[in-house]
Chain A
Amino acid sequence: MPQNDYIELHRKRYGYRFDHFEKARKKEARKVHKDALVAKKLRGIKAKIYNKKRYTEKINLKKTIRAHEQKDVKTVNKIHDENGLPSYLLERNENQRTKVLTNLLKQKRKNKVGKWNLPIPKVQALNEAEMLRVVKSGKRKRKTWKRLIDKVSFVGNNFTRKNPKFERYIRPSSLRFKRANVYHSELKTTLALNIIAVKVNPQSNLYTHLGIITKGTVIEVDVSDLGLVTQSGKVIWGKFAQVTNNPELDGCINATLLV
């Protein structure tokens, strides 16, 4: 592994080996056989991972081959695939157009299905010791019924603590966040939006109720300045997003909007 670009420098100064390109080509050709040999020899979990990777590659290869074949067979289309555009939109830049979202045909279909396509479908289960740290209290520091929440949490605007003497779950104010960086997959931008509520934490209902945000939590964010409108003409002001990082390690909440 070169630590600096000595190889490039040598190549610039002295050029390639006389048989460099042929050797590279032949090595590529042999790679196919080598991969097959590796697949035969591997055992156990490594084999499973390796085979899964190969399978997806094979599927993609088949798709591209079929696409090429179809191109040869089909004649030139008379009617154009893209929707028409009026003349005032013909030369406008893409960024100007994608400031406004395509309206919600996809949304309607998704609603009919009733399921959300979550970007992170499964989440690593965390044990309680990680989430809740024991806090010793009492005159002899022997009572251990208090818990300190080690993860990031969200509390609403009108949150007031219970009496500290009786507070079982302590949410440190340093780990309380109000905003999330939400990535919109259609606009391909990240926006800093206010969090409205924590919808569901996949670890447990208790954490949802406490407002704890970990990786995979679904939160509701305020999207009023995106300018979305439903079919019946109402303006959308809240949408769900799923958290994609570990907020307590990064110091910020990154989420993907569920479109």
Chain B
Amino acid sequence: AGKLECSGVISAHCNLCLPRSSDSPASASQEDPLPLAFFVHDAEIVSSLGKTLESQAVETEKVLDIIYQPQAVFRVRAVTRCTSSLDGHSEAVISVAFSPTGKYLASGSGDTTVRFWDLSTETPHFTCKGHRHWVLSISWSPDGKKLASGCKNGQILLWDPSTGKQVGRTLAGHSKWITGLSWEPFHANPECRYVASSSKDGTVRIWDTTAGRCERILTGHTQSVTCLRWGGDGLLYSASQDRTIKVWRAHDGVLCRTLQGHSHWVNTMALSTDYALRTGAFEPAEASVNAQDLQGSLQELKERALSRYNLVRGQGPERLVSGSDDFTLFLWSPAEDKKPLTRMTGHQALINQVLFSPDSRVVASASFDKSIKLWDGRTGKYLASLRGHVAAVYQIAWSADSRLLVSGSSDSTLKVWDVKAPKLAMDLPGHADEVYAVDWSPDGQRVASGGKDKCLRIWRR
């Protein structure tokens, strides 16, 4: 963000576009301008500068600071229709995930199988049997070549999406079910070798996938670890039902900090750089209609991932937001301080999921009080409430340009929300029963959702 100083009354138009600095050598004379949004005293200039100044009641003699923020260059369009309803699972679909480039779609279900789906024809691709209990969580490696899935018996299996076969050995070691999986970031290790898993037994284990064994066990939590995130700075964050969040150093497993503040179970966590870590070297602005694997040598991809990560992170350290059963969220800067930056209150029931937007400016929190609240990503200030669901909101997903949000709820509908003018963009009914998982593909074309009615639905524009 930058500042433009102006004094007096000028009439300027919003959504001015700056010509981008030519860092791409193959640029023609015409370049796509970078869209911007202008803010005066935290209020966005929508119509004209004059009207905004009137509404703000700004003194005409003082120097006015207009802050501009670059918006994403590409624009994701809202999904409007269900293109296919994929049957196949014989029990409820519990987790759904697109690969980092958007090429593959994987879903885990209560019938103990993981299924891969072919996105170009929207038909089943592979069925992977191997687990012996419900597949609770799935996670793609940042290069998109492996999928890790954790089950209710505490076992983790790795799958190859192109063949549908299991890769390596079964990683067993946890005594109770797996609550979360997180891979090491691409820019730290482009081979995607290490994956961390959190479990109900209160431990976090770091596994070496090539050797097929447990590298490190991080104990310290006294109750179930509900959420796990591997940050881009070499720190591992784990949230637990014992009301604390612990920060570990990933390479030697030393506990750095314990973040306390919540008064009930910590359900969910989100890092400001989550989306960049998830997509790795893939840049959503360069997505094509047919998703492809990433090209280039490992070193090039690592550079790209690192630059994307640094861009999203900005100057300061990573920020962490945590949502809990005590109806509040906390914004932390865990690498620096063990005291929270802000406490975000307002929800009237427990918070099920929090997510930073891909540009890390907005935090969205989904709660069982049927609403989704938007908060500022830097300061934690409350922005807006999105109401429309008639039952608990279970999961949310951001579109890659941070303008749209899709939410799946217990009332069996999905809703697409426009974040700028915070209101409902699209209502997507169609599921017959509760929607347990939603995901928006990183190339912005599709939304996949699965739920209790055992059927996976793909939605497109």
**B267 and A88 contacting across the interface, CB-CB below 8 Å:** yes
Within 8 A of B (CB), among A227-257: 227-233, 235
B411 and A229 form a contact (CB under 8 A): yes
Given contacts A83-B110, A85-B110, A87-B179, contact A103 B92 (CB under 8 A): no
B contact residues, range: 35 or more
Report the bound CA distance from A255 to B412 in whole Å. 28
Interface residues in A85-117 (C-beta closer than 8 Å to B): 85-91, 96, 100, 102-105, 108
- B interface footprint on A73-91 (CB within 8 Å = 1, 0 otherwise): 0000011101111111111
Give which listed residue, B91, B413, B436, B454, contacts A86 with CB less than 8 A. Answer: B436
Please give, as numbers and ranges, the residues of chain B lying within 8 Å of A232 by CB-CB distance.
Answer: 429
Q: Is the CB of B429 within 8 A of A84?
A: no
Q: Is the CB of B177 within 8 A of A90?
A: yes
- Count CB-based A-B contacts (< 8 Å): 93
Residue B191 CB within 8 A of the other chain: no
Q: A107-145 interface mask toward B, CB cutoff 8 Å, 1 = contact, 0 = none?
A: 010000000000000000000000000000000000000
Task: Determine which residue in A83, A84, A89, A235 has the highest number of CB atoms from chain B within 10 A of its CB, and name it.
Answer: A84
Residues of B within 8 A of A227 (CB): 370, 390-391, 411
Let me know if B132 and A103 touch, CB within 8 A: no
Residues of B within 8 A of A104 (CB): 432
CB distance from B282 to the nearest CB of A (A): 26
By the criterion CB–CB under 8 Å, are B111 and A84 in contact? yes
B94 near A86 with CB under 8 A, answer: yes
Q: Does B437 contact A (CB under 8 A)?
A: yes
In the complex, the answer to whether A233 meets B429 with C-beta atoms within 8 Å is yes
Contact of A87 among B91, B177, B391, B428 (CB under 8 A): B177
Bound state CA distance, A171 and B112, in angstroms? 62
By a CB distance below 8 angstroms, the chain A residues around B92 are: 83-85
A87 CB contacts on chain B under 8 angstroms: 136-137, 177-180, 226
B352 contacts the other chain (CB 8 A): yes
The yes or no answer to B434 lying at the interface (CB within 8 A) is: yes
The closest CB in chain B to the CB of A105 belongs to B432
Instruction: List residues of chain A with CB within 8 A of the CB of B430.
Output: 231, 233
Known: A80-B133, A84-B111. A103 touches B436 (CB 8 A): no
Q: Does B440 contact A (CB under 8 A)?
A: no
CA distance in complex: A157, B436 (Å): 42
What is the number of residues of chain A that contact chain B, defined by CB distance less than 8 Å? Answer: 28
CA distance A222 to B134 in the complex (A): 39
Q: Which of A78, A100, A105 contacts B392 (CB 8 A)?
A: A100
In the complex formed, the residue of A with least CB distance to B113 is: A79
Of A80, A87, A96, A228, most buried by chain B (CB within 10 Å of CB) is A87
Checking A83, A90, A235 against B452 with a beta-carbon cut-off of 8 angstroms, the contacting residue is A83
Smallest beta-carbon distance B263→chain A, Å:
18
Min CB–CB distance B309 → chain A (angstroms) = 27
Which residues from B are CB-within-8-Å of A228? 390
B273 at the A interface (CB under 8 A): no
Q: Is B449 an interface residue (CB 8 A)?
A: no
Q: Smallest distance from the beta carbon of B200 to chain A beta carbons, Å?
A: 8
- Flag if B412 contacts A105 (CB, 8 Å): no
**Proximity string of chain B (420-461) to chain A, C-beta cutoff 8 Å, 1 when within and 0 when not:** 000000011110111011000000000000001110000000
Q: Are A233 and B413 in contact (CB under 8 A)?
A: yes
Q: Are the CB atoms of A103 and B433 closer together than 8 Å?
A: yes
Q: How far is the CA of A83 from the CA of B434 in the complex (A)?
A: 12
New A-B contacts (19) at CB < 8 Å, excluding given A85-B134, A87-B226: A78-B132, A82-B110, A83-B454, A84-B93, A84-B110, A85-B110, A87-B137, A88-B268, A88-B352, A90-B136, A91-B224, A100-B410, A100-B434, A102-B433, A103-B412, A104-B432, A227-B391, A231-B432, A233-B429
**Chain A residues within CB distance 8 Å of chain B:** 78-80, 82-91, 96, 100, 102-105, 108, 227-233, 235
> Can you list 18 A-B contacts (CB < 8 A)?
A78-B132, A79-B111, A84-B91, A84-B93, A84-B94, A84-B110, A84-B135, A85-B134, A87-B136, A88-B394, A105-B433, A227-B411, A228-B390, A229-B391, A229-B411, A229-B429, A230-B429, A235-B390
